[in-house]
Amino acid sequence: MQRRTLLASLPALASLPAFGHHGWSSFDQERPLYLSGRAAKVSWRNPHAELQLEVPENLALPADLAKRSLPRQTAAVDGAALLAKARVPTRRDRRWEVELAPLTRMQAWGVEEIKPGAEIAVLGFTFTGEQGDAVLRVEYLFVGDKTYGLRSSPA
């Protein structure tokens, strides 16, 4: 009886939407991109916090970006090299899906929940060649005068 119930339920399970999670390997880690703007919609939950970032039409790198001090992480990240290579995206999307870190890591860094309307900046990676959706996986999060490294826990 249990087997028949399981077999009968398989088609229903197959029709449920699949929710994907992007690993680091999906992103072009040789092309760090800088975005800044206003958080439009925020989802503060696992598997990772995420938000929609509205970026200005005239997005530009800040003059001091390459000289910013970065926090140490437990993962080996050459933050200075990433800042030096940073660029703004070539695509002109005005709204980006921004993937932050899992909530436990956000808490370890002491990141307060970002609310809609907050002004933030991020440095991260998009899909190879900026193809597909406007999605950015965040390496560094800049909120006010604070910088958080999101690949791993604080060192």
Q: Is the pLDDT of residue 14 over 50?
A: no
pLDDT in tens, 25-57: 567 788 999 999 999 999 999 999 999 999 999
pLDDT recorded at residue 17 = 35
Q: Is the pLDDT of residue 9 over 50?
A: no
pLDDT in tens, 101-154: 999 999 999 999 999 999 999 999 998 767 788 999 999 999 999 999 999 999
Task: Look at residues 91, 82, 92 and name the one whose alpha carbon lies nearest to residue 123.
Answer: 82
Which is it for strands 95-99 and 119-125: parallel, antiparallel or unpaired? unpaired
pLDDT recorded at residue 2 = 52
pLDDT recorded at residue 121 = 98
Q: Is the pLDDT of residue 15 over 90?
A: no
Segments making up each domain of the chain, as ranges: 25-149
- Does the domain at residues 25-149 carry the CATH identifier 2.40.50.140? yes
Which band of pLDDT confidence, cut at 50, 70 and 90, is reported for residue 13? very low
CA 139/CA 122 separation, integer angstroms: 8
pLDDT recorded at residue 131 = 73
Find out whether 48 and 141 touch, Cβ atoms under 8 Å: no
pLDDT in tens, 62-108: 999 999 999 999 999 999 999 999 999 999 999 999 999 999 999 99
